[in-house]
Amino acid sequence: MQSWLDIPQNSDFSIYNLPYGIFSYGKKKPRAGVAIGNFIIDLKRAYKKGLLEGIKIPKKIFDAPVLNDYIRLGKSVHRAVRERLQEQLQDPTSLLFRYQHKLLVPMEDATMHLPVAIGDYTDFYSSEEHATNVGKMFRGEANALMPNWKHLPVAYHGRASSIVVSGTPIRRPMGQYRPNDNEPPVFGPSQMVDFELEVAFIISRDTELGERIPANHAEDYIFGLVLFNDWSARDLQKWEYVPLGPFLGKNFGSSMSPWIVTLDALEPFRTQGPVQNPPVLPYLQTEGAHAFDIHLEVAIIPQATTQETVVCRSNFKYLYWNMAQQLAHHTVNGCNVRVGDVMASGTISGPAPDSFGSMLELTWNGKNPILLQDGSVRTAINDYDEVVMRGYCQKDYMRVGFGEVRTLLLPAE
């Protein structure tokens, strides 16, 4: 597909992508938009100009400060809008071309907002490499994976209220931790703040309490994917997690990228995930390819410098448990889901040491500090470090990217 719009060759937001987000500019209130190249298509204005005529979209659906009501319209509508915009972007006689000065907003002039109202948030633990690495560190190689790990997608219920959009600073958390195993715990700022490289999916359909989502239909309930940094305070978490699991070590903040990349845009990048052995129970069995070849990376930018150091290169396809299995397991007990719910993958680590998706693994619990470009070293994230996560798919001439999730860590108050 060739567009009349000047789209940079390596843009994450090609005509094959067209992700959704919520943005504002000037004195305009937040509204829905679609990213294309270095611009955002203002869907509210596009609707008023008749670009989406013939598609069953309620009036003022794009005026809302979140995408939930639009997502609720269903995939047939989302697909029709995407195809219409692709047609408009290719046709130099289109309404979009004619009104481009009113409908295309430069990204540099826009402020991005959290794209959905998040009712609930679940964080999975679906990377075998990550789970194995952590297990080796704390339980030894013989007990690296817990007995249940290869039989079900392990997860915990997280805190939705502290999920923030890219660009929102996160403050170092306070809490209890135990520096010395032979002494009582102390209270203070966490000394081991860490990033976790994740990808999350957004729920597109409500279910009733008691309803189960079959694995082979689970993708019908997924609107799209975002990059996700699930921040961790390792020292707080280590002290508190027995017997009930993550709490203050996790709920102080998670960062989400502003653009939701749809499954339709990711379709060309489907691939097979890891072989699952032993075979999973029938309700978790899926047919076909349910993994996606998404290149991921994490960079750290220290205070008072623009020099970034890429510390991790991983891939979404490494996940042992796929999204369909995660959602099937999440609802097999009758747990209901709602439009806008966020389901994160858990840390995505690969087989090579430079593909580990957290500082905990990259430094092997502090034993192997990372040297940054400015000459400083890290075993954890320092105050005023900026952590940047990126993701993209590439196949021949097609590039579909997620942009960035970028977060500055501020000192504890």
DSSP per-residue letters across 356-370:
-SBHHHHTTTTTSPE
Measure the CA angle with vertex 360, ends 358 and 364; round to 5°: 120
Per the structure, the count of domains in the chain is: 2
Whether residue 175 contacts residue 233, with contact meaning beta carbons closer than 8 Å, is answered with: yes
Query: At 26, which CATH number?
Result: 2.30.30.230
Per-residue pLDDT of 140-175, as tens digits, reads: 988 899 999 999 999 999 999 999 999 999 999 999
User: Is 147 a domain residue?
Assistant: yes
Same domain, 203 and 75: no
- Please indicate whether residue 130 is annotated as part of the active site: yes
Gap between the Cα atoms of 174 and 71, Å rounded: 37
Same domain, 342 and 377: yes
- Catalytic pick among 78, 113, 130, 329: 130
pLDDT in the model for residue 326: 98
Same domain, 383 and 247: yes
Same domain, 109 and 125: no
Domain boundary among 113, 133, 163: 113
86-90, 137-141, 345-349, range with the lowest pLDDT: 137-141
- pLDDT for 228 beyond 90: yes
- pLDDT for 316 beyond 90: yes
Same domain, 80 and 197: no
Cα diameter, the chain: 75
pLDDT in the model for residue 304: 81
Same domain, 356 and 379: yes
Same domain, 51 and 139: no
Query: At 267, which CATH number?
Result: 3.90.850.10
pLDDT in the model for residue 314: 98
Same domain, 108 and 178: no
User: Is 9 a domain residue?
Assistant: no
Q: Are strands 170-171 and 398-410 parallel, antiparallel or unpaired?
A: parallel
Q: Over the chain, what is the mean pLDDT?
A: 97
Same domain, 199 and 249: yes
- pLDDT for 332 beyond 90: yes
Same domain, 127 and 108: no
Residue range(s) defining the domain that contains residue 246: 121-410
Same domain, 320 and 387: yes
Domain boundary among 81, 113, 145: 113
- pLDDT for 266 beyond 90: yes
User: Is 336 a domain residue?
Assistant: yes
